[in-house]
Amino acid sequence: MNLPASIPFFTALRFWLRLGFISFGGPAGQIALMHSELVEKRRWISEKRFLHALNYCMLLPGPEAQQLATYLGWLMHRSWGGIAAGVLFVLPSLLILIALSWLYMTFGQQPLVAGLFYGIKPAVCAIVLQAAWRIGGRTLHNRWLWGIAALAFIAIFALHVPFPAIVAGAAALGWLGGRLQPEAFSTGGGHSGAAKSYGPALIDDDTPTPEHARFRWFRLILICGLGAVLWLLPMGLLVAFAGWTHFFSQTGWFFTKAALLTFGGAYAVLPYVYQGAVLHYGWLSPSQMIDGLALGETTPGPLIMVVAFVGFVGGWNEGTQMASGAFLSGPAIVFTALVGACLATWFTFLPSFLFIFAGAPLVESTRDALHFTAPLTAITAAVVGVIVNLALFFAYHVLWPQGFDVGFEWPAALIALAAAVALLRYKANVMGVIGLCALAGLLVKGLL
């Protein structure tokens, strides 16, 4: 294969834009797609350099697939390349999700839409359960980690401990366990295995680190200062014009905290989002949260983009209360919803860009294999217990939508069981399962 001397910026830009529209399948599918395109087919980067970047992204809070795209775009075309790759990985999903959220809030009570979601909601329960199974199979290798997962489940299910406190407690247990039982808290497997060679690459194993990727203290300080401005400026304006307790200000603050607690991927932050957005703030109902996750599963981009749905629905409900009876109430409601979606997205993804631009030069300067630390291993174990609680939370609102005293939804239970078998036993495609479950919902409601 004849390789070009360099990768033209606009060639890379077209690839990142295309990736933003076809990146279905969650982080595993998105990372596999990037590997297939960049490492195997295009040979823009070698296997070893790709895995080196991925290992760093796996250590960070935030969506690892989006961070990996940002890292690779930065490595090839400096900061503008990283911004383009990271933004285009998210932007198509944001626009699609805003459109779907508007349709959902406008026509969600129509029989056809209600029938579709009747079948999709049980599928979401099965998908969340599959996430717990998948993460648990990768993480819970011994009784210590199983114990941490069980403690996390009890803490959030029975004691209603806030998710940040569970993360902090798991990190403390991991730090202690790493010193008393280091072999139990070491992370095997993962993405740090021997790299396979697919032939020479533009950015190869022995390619010198580009000048812009060399670590410099001044650059690190500059990026941290710029990040502080990009966070403080919009947050300061929101507080100044709307007040600290306003929906907009609280959205920015809440999703900033969520962005720093997403160790373990999007499913890890979902419990925190439902604890805050549903139980604490009341921005949306449990049923709407399940519907949002269903929409997130069926759109390209990172699953954590469900935060845009949460911001949109929260803004819609907030705007409905503020604009009740007012002139032009409809446009005001849509405007509030749009601002809510954009704020949730901005404050969720801003830390991800900063982590890459600040830390990637240091990672490139070492070029050593990175491993999960013991605290992060324990946090990931705790995430398994938290996700199991989330699956039970969703299942309750799907199978007993009116409460235990009203009745059990047997059709929904059968759809959930079929989806779980398809996902766990037969490794079926998530999109296919959602589509079949949606058809089943229409059949149950007599719409087919």
The yes-or-no verdict on residue 329 having pLDDT over 70 is no
> What is the average per-residue pLDDT within 102-113?
85
Cβ count within 10 A of residue 404: 9
The yes-or-no verdict on residue 191 having pLDDT over 50 is no
What pLDDT shows up at residue 188? 47
- State pLDDT tens for residues 111-134: 888 888 889 888 888 888 887 887
What pLDDT shows up at residue 254? 95
Q: CA–CA separation, 72 vs 2, rounded Å?
A: 21
What pLDDT shows up at residue 371? 41
Structure token pair of residue 213: 């990727």
Structure token pair of residue 410: 């047997």
What pLDDT shows up at residue 149? 93
> What is the average per-residue pLDDT within 314-328?
74
> What is the average per-residue pLDDT within 294-317?
88
User: Is residue 199 classed as helix, strand or coil in its secondary structure?
Assistant: coil
> What is the average per-residue pLDDT within 3-15?
84
Q: CA–CA separation, 285 vs 298, rounded Å?
A: 20
CB 349 within 8 A of CB 258: no
What pLDDT shows up at residue 26? 65
The yes-or-no verdict on residue 50 having pLDDT over 70 is yes
User: Is residue 110 classed as helix, strand or coil in its secondary structure?
Assistant: coil
Listed residue (120, 119, 127) closest to 391, CA to CA: 127
The yes-or-no verdict on residue 42 having pLDDT over 50 is yes
Helix ranges restricted to H, 298-429: 306-322, 329-366, 374-399, 410-420
CA Rg, the chain, in Å? 22
> What is the average per-residue pLDDT within 425-434?
84
User: Is residue 61 classed as helix, strand or coil in its secondary structure?
Assistant: coil
Secondary structure of 15-32 in HEC code, one letter for each residue: HHHHHHHHCCCHHHHHHH
The yes-or-no verdict on residue 178 having pLDDT over 60 is yes
What pLDDT shows up at residue 131? 77
Domain ranges of the chain: 9-444
CB 248 within 8 A of CB 242: yes
CA dist list (Å): 188 to 69, 175, 374, 378, 380:
24, 17, 12, 14, 14
The yes-or-no verdict on residue 444 having pLDDT over 60 is yes
- State pLDDT tens for residues 140-172: 889 999 999 999 999 988 898 887 788 889 889
Confidence of residue 366 (pLDDT cuts 50, 70, 90): low
What pLDDT shows up at residue 190? 43
Give the DSSP H/E element, type plus range, for residue 53: helix 47-59
Q: CA–CA separation, 50 vs 330, rounded Å?
A: 48
Dihedral angle over CA of 386, 300, 433, 157, nearest 10 = 10
User: Which residues is 45 bridged to in the sheet?
Assistant: 203
> What is the average per-residue pLDDT within 330-340?
90
Confidence of residue 24 (pLDDT cuts 50, 70, 90): low
Q: Which of 4-8, 217-221, 441-445 has the lowest mean pLDDT?
A: 4-8
The yes-or-no verdict on residue 263 having pLDDT over 70 is no
The yes-or-no verdict on residue 369 having pLDDT over 60 is no
